A = this chain, B = another copy of it.
């Protein structure tokens, strides 16, 4: 049986005008408690359910925010989404989740779809493929606020939440140095993305601080996918006589590299420490000696959502903010096959 109960039904049943019913249902102060009660009672009796579509159309705003991530199933992003959902739930917003899969074409379609759905705002982490931002125009046209997270975007006019990648790179590398590593390699990502540039800068800075050379043979850039980790570590071993530590700019490549080493049973002169990002609860178990630098995904999600809500709820355009979160180095003991950040 279809639910066709509208405010008019309860208006008719009570001989009260539908506008008053609407007001009562919205808990307006300009309705007597008595009539409010009567209306609410009748509404429940008839099984009334507000049609938010109509309400949103009339008000020309929705209670939905769009979220675009490269890949939902990566733990950093899923915990980030959890953070967004948490604050959205508390403020009566829904979230629409979309994944770009690092593809510009998908990102373009998604943006258009979100704009057509008149979302109240958009939170996004741009794809690796994205080099210019024409596809974001529909949001601009629709006057839809946009907040970036994790991956920085070179266009002005938008708030951003980032992790201090420089610091993360620095901390990770310094940690390896403190464990006695001298010859430390770096698996880096596409230099078109700020996050990888900054992690690399942190790596360099830590080496320099401790008087170690920055050897180009020790740095390999890739897309940091599954296959890249194994390939890169292989190359590194070939090219370098000595290799004490590896700082990986993400977890996927780090894990792949470790798997590769384990599979080949490679014993290198010194322990290898590999550092990438991961806040998997499970990661602790990999090695008792594991050190990690946690990316605060959940926190970041909450902050990004709050930033966006501020924009949504302010009548006038407000100043953009950039929030930089500190990564969290969790040190453990030795440094064999460490997976971290």
A281 and B255 form a contact (CB under 8 A): yes
Please measure, in the bound complex, the distance between the C-alpha atom of A280 and the C-alpha atom of B128, giving whole angstroms.
23
| A118 CB within 8 Å of chain B | yes
For A258, the closest partner residue in chain B by CB is B285
| 8 Å CB interface, A99-121 against B | 99, 106, 109, 112-118
| A143 CB within 8 Å of chain B | yes
Q: Which residues of B contact A97 (CB under 8 A)?
A: 81, 85, 95-97
B280 and A53 form a contact (CB under 8 A): no
Q: Which residues of B contact A281 (CB under 8 A)?
A: 226, 252, 255
Q: Which residues of B contact A316 (CB under 8 A)?
A: none
Q: Mark A287-307, 1 if CB is under 8 A from B, else 0.
A: 010000000011000000000
Q: Mark A75-100, 1 if CB is under 8 A from B, else 0.
A: 10111011001000100101111110
| A19 CB within 8 Å of chain B | no
For A81, the closest partner residue in chain B by CB is B72
Name the distance in Å between A228's Cβ and chain B's nearest Cβ: 14
B98 and A89 form a contact (CB under 8 A): yes
Name the distance in Å between A93's Cβ and chain B's nearest Cβ: 10
* The one of B50, B78, B114, B115 that contacts A75, using a Cβ cutoff of 8 Å: B78
B98 and A96 form a contact (CB under 8 A): no
Interface residues of A, count at CB 8 A: 67
Q: Which residues of B contact A96 (CB under 8 A)?
A: 64, 94-97
Instruction: List the one stretch of A32-40, A54-62, A209-217 in contact with chain B.
Output: A54-62
A138 and B49 form a contact (CB under 8 A): yes
Name the distance in Å between A269's Cβ and chain B's nearest Cβ: 22
B82 and A73 form a contact (CB under 8 A): yes
A85 and B57 form a contact (CB under 8 A): no
A53 and B1 form a contact (CB under 8 A): no
Name the distance in Å between A158's Cβ and chain B's nearest Cβ: 17
| A51 CB within 8 Å of chain B | yes
A85 and B113 form a contact (CB under 8 A): no
A141 and B73 form a contact (CB under 8 A): no
Q: Which residues of B contact A95 (CB under 8 A)?
A: 96-97
* The one of B54, B73, B252, B258 that contacts A57, using a Cβ cutoff of 8 Å: B54
Besides A52-B118, A53-B57, A252-B281, 7 more A-B contacts (Cβ < 8 Å) are: A1-B143, A47-B141, A49-B116, A49-B138, A52-B116, A73-B81, A89-B99
A-B contact pairs, 22 of them (CB 8 A): A2-B141, A49-B112, A49-B138, A49-B141, A53-B53, A63-B117, A72-B78, A72-B82, A73-B81, A73-B82, A73-B297, A85-B97, A89-B98, A96-B96, A252-B281, A255-B282, A255-B285, A262-B288, A280-B282, A282-B286, A282-B339, A285-B286
